Amino acid sequence: MKRILPRVQGTKGPEGDLDRGRPEVERLSPGAVAPGPGSRNVPPAPGRTDSIIVGVAGLEAVLKVREARSFSACLTTPLATGGSRNVSPRTRGREARSVSACLTTPLATGGSRSVLPAPGPRSASDCLTTPLVIGGSRSVPPRTRGREARSAAPASRRHWQPAAAVVCRPHPAFTLVELLVVIAIIGMLVGLLLPAVQQAREAARQMQCNNQLRQMALACLNHESQLRKFPSAGWTWTFMGDPDRGLGRTQPGGWSFSILPFIEQNAMYMYGSNNLPDTPDKTKLTEVLQMPLPIFYCPSRRTAKTYPGANDSLVNGTSSALKEGGVAYVAKMDYAANYGGYSSNPGDIRYHPSDYTQANTYQKNNSWPTQKANGVIFSCSETRVGEIRDGLTNTYLVGEKYHNSDTYETNGSSNDDNGAYIGADRDNCRCTKVASDTVPMQDRSGYGNDDYRFGSCHAGGFGMAMCDGSVHRVVYSIDSKVHYCLGVRNDGARYTDGTNVQVRLPD
């Protein structure tokens, strides 16, 4: 038997089939035994006369040489079976952390091998000896030994075990107590927020009310600019507006009817026209009395619609046409003109025509009492700007009127029972006389069904438009003498008893 030891030089062996740097192995004749304790006999394959006896050291050397970066970087590590193998410094450092930690495991073919413990700083005592099926034993770390012991358990000891039951935890949710607490908190917040919301809404409505007053004041100023006189309050409450009678002292309708062309309601103003100044179209004029306009309604008091009223003695209209189920329904208004400092009915403080024929001969200087007719808009008035001696800024023109809150929707008040477009009456004119029934007041229940006072449903004060078109909020506690002087156009800021009054309104 001829034997060739492994060579690591670059020269070729007799077979010449190995690359440079790879050790050559020796061909042995059949049945030969490789020297050394680490070799084993390989039975000859059928039809062949020889077999290759491969040494353990040779195979390990071949595999490790492939991983080496260079031949010079390989270090020689002795094997337990004899011989040596070449490994890189990194591999050698990983496997041989501690030589004392490696235990020798004998093989069935003879010899032994070294088994390293599991990675990590463990001692040799941590390695346990595990017998092999082929005989002998080996040392393995406890973790590896536990896994192999379970896999090597006899089949008789194995039995099926069901998977662990999956416990589904319910999704988190509110309990009944938590829900009630949240509802209670929300209710408290809403209760705290509701007054603020109501206050904001009331402020918006009050602003709208002021804007409507300003629109009416501008309409009156446009009327004066075009006709050189402020609109008239009409004749009396038994007459309603007639477009064929023109504007001024000859117009039987109230001041609200006279300003319709100046608030973009000319079509409504001309609705009852028949081009006959002395013959009214009673049917159409009565229909106009049932046409409500939002500008004449305070948004905080009531909506724009028809309400139960009286108007049962119309001269130029048909009172029966207003009734539905025995009740007359008319369009009303929440604003009134200033007719001065006298508390008599505005239709009675001055002479007014009783029919169309008499109105044709009426003159401005006929029965004009200075003491009674000292406002701006009153029965058959034709007040000019020059006649307002106290100044346009210091004289009332139009404002909010007082009304009993119980009769907003009914006909229970004599100062709110007629239509919006009738002649001079307490429904559309108020005064500033110093008296118990003329002091400004906020609307209240069960009080003042026949008063002449200004007022409103707003808290704190009522709105008044001055003759210059400005709008002010006047407090209910205003001094009665100041209030009187603001209503009289030519008193020189002096009360009737001679007391000088300082007239001053907030900006």
Length of the chain: 507
SS3 57: helix
Residue 297 CB coordination number (10 Å): 21
Report pTM.
0.63
Inter-residue long-range contacts of 264-273, CB under 8 Å, 24+ positions, other chains counted: 265/293, 268/293, 269/241, 269/243, 270/243, 271/243, 272/241, 272/242, 272/243, 273/243, 273/244
Report H helices in 228-274: 255-258, 266-269
User: What pLDDT sits at residue 75?
Assistant: 47
Per-residue CA distances from 253 to 5, 216, 416 (Å)? 140, 16, 16
Write the single-letter amino acid at 459: A
- Contact by Cβ (8 Å): 462, 454: yes
Task: State residue 94's pLDDT score.
Answer: 55
DSSP string, 309-377: E-----SSS-GGGGEETTEEEEE--SEEEE--S--S-TTTSS---SSHHHHTT--TTSS--TTTS-SSS
pLDDT score for 26: 42
- What sign does the dihedral 221-225-230-231 (CA atoms) show? negative
**Strand 441-442 relative to strand 455-456: parallel, antiparallel, unpaired?**
parallel
Contact 411, 433 (CB under 8 A): no
Burial category of 454 from C-beta neighbours within 10 Å (exposed 0-12, middle 13-18, buried 19 and up): buried
**pLDDT score recorded for residue 414:** 80
Q: Tell me which residue of 204, 207, 225 sits closest to 468, measured CA to CA.
A: 225
The tokens for 228 are: 């050189």
Q: How many whole angstroms separate alpha carbon 463 and alpha carbon 164?
A: 82
- 243: nearest Cα among 219, 271, 265: 271
Residue 358 to residue 379: CA distance in whole angstroms: 15
Ranges of H-type helices in 121-162: 142-151
Q: What CA–CA distances, in Å, run from 439 to 77, 324, 378, 393?
A: 121, 36, 20, 21
* Predicted pLDDT of residue 27: 43
Per-residue pLDDT tens digits for 255-276:
999 999 999 999 999 999 999 9
In the DSSP assignment, the letter for residue 465 is E
Burial of 347 (0-12, 13-18, 19+ CB in 10 A): buried
Question: Could you tell me how many helices (H) and strands (E) the chain has, helices first?
Answer: 9, 16
List phi, psi (to 5°) of 257.
-75, -35
What secondary structure letter does DSSP report for 65? H
Within 10 A of 11 (CB to CB), how many other CB atoms are there? 9
The phi, psi pair for 485, rounded to 5°, reads: -65, -30
pLDDT digits (tens), the chain, 507 positions: 444 444 444 444 444 444 444 444 444 444 444 444 444 444 444 444 444 444 555 556 655 655 554 444 444 445 444 555 555 555 555 554 544 444 444 544 455 554 444 444 444 444 444 444 444 555 555 555 555 545 544 544 445 555 555 555 666 777 889 889 999 999 999 888 888 888 899 999 999 999 999 999 999 999 999 999 999 999 988 899 999 999 988 899 999 999 999 999 999 999 999 999 888 999 999 999 999 999 999 999 999 999 998 877 888 888 888 888 888 899 999 999 999 887 777 766 666 788 888 887 766 554 544 457 789 998 888 899 999 998 999 999 999 999 988 888 888 778 888 889 999 988 999 999 888 888 899 998 888 776 789 999 999 899 999 999 999 999 999 988 899 999 999 888 777 666 677 666 655
pLDDT tens digit string along 339-358? 988 777 776 666 678 888 88
